[in-house]
Amino acid sequence: MRLATSTCIHEKVLWQKELCYTCEQSIDACVRAGYRVLDMNFASYSRGSLPMTRPDWESWVKNIKEFSDEKGVEYSQAHAHFYNWTTVPAADVDWHEELIRRSIIGAGIMKAKWLVIHPGSVNDGVWYSYKKSVAKNVEFYKRYAELASNYGVGIAIENMIETPMPIRRYCRSTEELLDLLGALNDPIFGVCWDTGHAHMAGINQPAALRELGKNLKALHVADNFGQNDDHLAPYFGTIVWEPIMKALKEIEYEGDFTYEIHRFTYGVSDEMQDKLLKFTYDLGMSLLALAK
C-alpha cells in the first residue's frame, strides 16, 4: 500500500469558486510534496468549459499523461464525472453520460488501474425506489464495463452518503455494494471505500472493510466531524484511524491509500500550498506505518 492523493488536493486558494491552478500545476505541486502516485480527478475538469468538455479533450488527456510521465508520476486510480440522477433534467442526461464515457477513455489513457464511478439513485415519483435503483445501476454499469474493458480499466463503485431527509441514496451500505457486485457478476467491478462518507453514515468502518475484503480496490481517504463531507486530512475530524489501518492490513488491501482532502487545502493562500501539501504527505506516511 502506497500513499497517493487526488489531483484535487491542489486546485483552489482562499475558498475561490473557480480552479486556480492548471492540472499540470496541480501535478507538479504534488510531486514537490513527495507524491509519486496520484488519482486523476476528471470530475474537476468536466464542468463549464473546462478541458474535459471541449472537442479536443482527448488531446488534453494525452498531454497530461505525457507531463505525468516526465514527472515520474503514475495513476493507481481516477475519478469519473458524476451527476445526480434524481435532479438532473432528462435532456441533460446524454451529456453527463458522455462525460462519464470520456472519463473511462481518459482513465485508460492515463493507465489508471481503477476508475471510481458513482452509483445513482432513482426516484419513482413518490420517493426513493430501491428496486429501480438496482435495475438502473446494473444497466448503466454493464454499459460502462464494455468500454472500460477495452481500455484496461477496472470500475470501482463508491459508497454513498445521504443528505438530510427526504433524500435517500443507493449504495450507502456494504450490503448494497456487495449485492450490486453480485448482480453485475464481473471481476472488472470492485468497491471504492470513502472513509468520510462512511463516517457520516455512522458505519463501523473496520468491520465494513473486513466485510468487503478483496472486493475493496480503491480508497477515498478523508476525515470529517460526522455531519458534513468536509474532505479534511486524517486526524482533523473525528474518525479513529488506527483500527482502520489495522483492518486494511488484515484484509491485505492491495490498492493505495489515496487522499481526497481538497477542502483541507482550498482555504489557504498560494504561498502556503506547498507547505500544507508537504504536511499531508508526511502525515500520510505516518499512517501507512501503522499498517506495516
pLDDT for the residue 163:
67
Q: What is the pTM of this model?
A: 0.96
On the question of pLDDT at 225 being above 80, the answer is yes
pLDDT tens figures, 158-210: 999 876 655 788 999 999 999 999 999 999 999 999 999 999 999 999 999 99
Task: Tell me the average pLDDT of the chain.
Answer: 96
99 pLDDT above the threshold of 90? yes
pLDDT digits 0-9 by tens, 25-83: 999 999 999 999 999 999 999 999 999 999 999 999 999 999 999 999 999 999 999 99
How many domains are contained in the chain? 1
88 vs 240, which has greater pLDDT?
240
CATH number at residue 139: 3.20.20.150
pLDDT above 90 covers what percent of the chain? 92
Q: Supply the pLDDT for residue 87.
A: 84
- Please give the pLDDT value at position 166: 58
Confidence at residue 165, expressed as pLDDT on a 0 to 100 scale: 58
Supply the range of the domain harboring residue 13. Answer: 3-289
pLDDT at 235 (0 to 100): 98
The pLDDT of residue 62: 98
DSSP per-residue letters across the chain: --EEEEGGGSS-STT-SS--S-HHHHHHHHHHHT--EEEEEGGGGSSTTSGGGSTTHHHHHHHHHHHHHHHT-EEEEEE-----TTTS-GGGHHHHHHHHHHHHHHHHHTT-SEEEE-----B-SSSB-HHHHHHHHHHHHHHHHHHHHHTT-EEEEEPP--PSTT---TT-SHHHHHHHHHHH--TTEEEEEEHHHHHHTT--HHHHHHHHGGGEEEEEB-B--SSS---BPTTSSS--HHHHHHHHHHTT--S-EEE--HHHHTTS-HHHHHHHHHHHHHHHHHHHHTT-
- pLDDT of 127: 82
